Structure 1
């Protein structure tokens, strides 16, 4: 410790400012000290200054990836499961198959509880959705509202997934018994 430091401690512990800062007090002293610190940093080659932004990373041609997150949403932020699976399906080319599966998975919400209670989708081949109704009356009703059903399905899962609807009613009883059968009327042809 030097003799000047001992004198400063004897006067209450505060050291005197250098001679060039002697007349300054309060905020003027702080501003002047900050300016000197910035000047020293600049002389060392550092980028300093009030209101300046951090240097932006150099962009390489064809590269648009940032190295920092930033204040807005980013693909590296946590994502909802639905959004993550949609991105995965899109990147793998599964979007069409996922949309087809959504017709079956969302059937009740797309067509409503009343229709879903009396009709269900059975197959989807090349844009043709086959719907099985529980009675012929329901099959007829569904044929009359077929255009509205197509519009609801397109709004829910996307255009072009279902292009037409084939509505089937209940199937009548079969006279076939066993593994083998004969074409024609069978045993009834002997009665008349």
Structure 2
């Protein structure tokens, strides 16, 4: 509605939707004729029947269709992260999973957090073996680098009324 109460359709003559659709169809047919295509004829260079070998017109397994859909919609990175988080303990092993948690994954860089500085040092040494396991489990080139972080937070020894001066136990506590 226009502010003075008169509908827009009375002020402007609109093309009926049927006419717009007919015009678009006529343009598409003309473009196809210009390329040499005729209705009812197969496109040049395509087989009429699929034959003995599988073709694009044959039924596809659901995994192929779902994979193509995920790739076309850009979901693959999120699916890889979900698979990585879900199978974390299986991929890295139960002992490493007990002392190492997933933090983030972005552009091939996997960031993990160790439970102590000693485990962080061990994980840095185990990085090449872990990369091989990720290649085996998730596919080659998905995880290309591993960043290992030390333990998070801590006990906050520098705060409170009973604060003890000095360096304190740092991140090796626990």
TM-score class, shorter: 0.5 to 0.7
Q: How does 1:14-163 map to 2 (within 5 A)?
A: 60-61=43-44, 64=46, 66-163=47-144
Gaps in structure 2 of 5+ consecutive residues: 1-40, 166-174
Aligned-residue CA RMSD (Å): 3.5
Flag the 1:72–1:108 CA change in 2: closer, same or farther, 3 A. Answer: farther
Flag the 1:116–1:187 CA change in 2: closer, same or farther, 3 A. Answer: closer
**Aligned residue pairs: how many?**
125
CA contact (8 A) 2:108 2:142 kept: yes
Flag the 1:135–1:82 CA change in 2: closer, same or farther, 3 A. Answer: farther
* Larger gyration radius, structure 1 or structure 2: 1
- In the other structure, the counterpart of 1:173 is 155
TM-score (norm 2): 0.52
Gaps in structure 1 of 5+ consecutive residues: 1-57, 177-184
Distance apart, 1:126 and its partner CA: 3.5
Measured in 2, the distance between the counterparts of 1:175 and 1:99 equals: 39
1:129 counterpart SS class: strand
Flag the 1:174–1:80 CA change in 2: closer, same or farther, 3 A. Answer: farther
TM-score (norm 1): 0.48
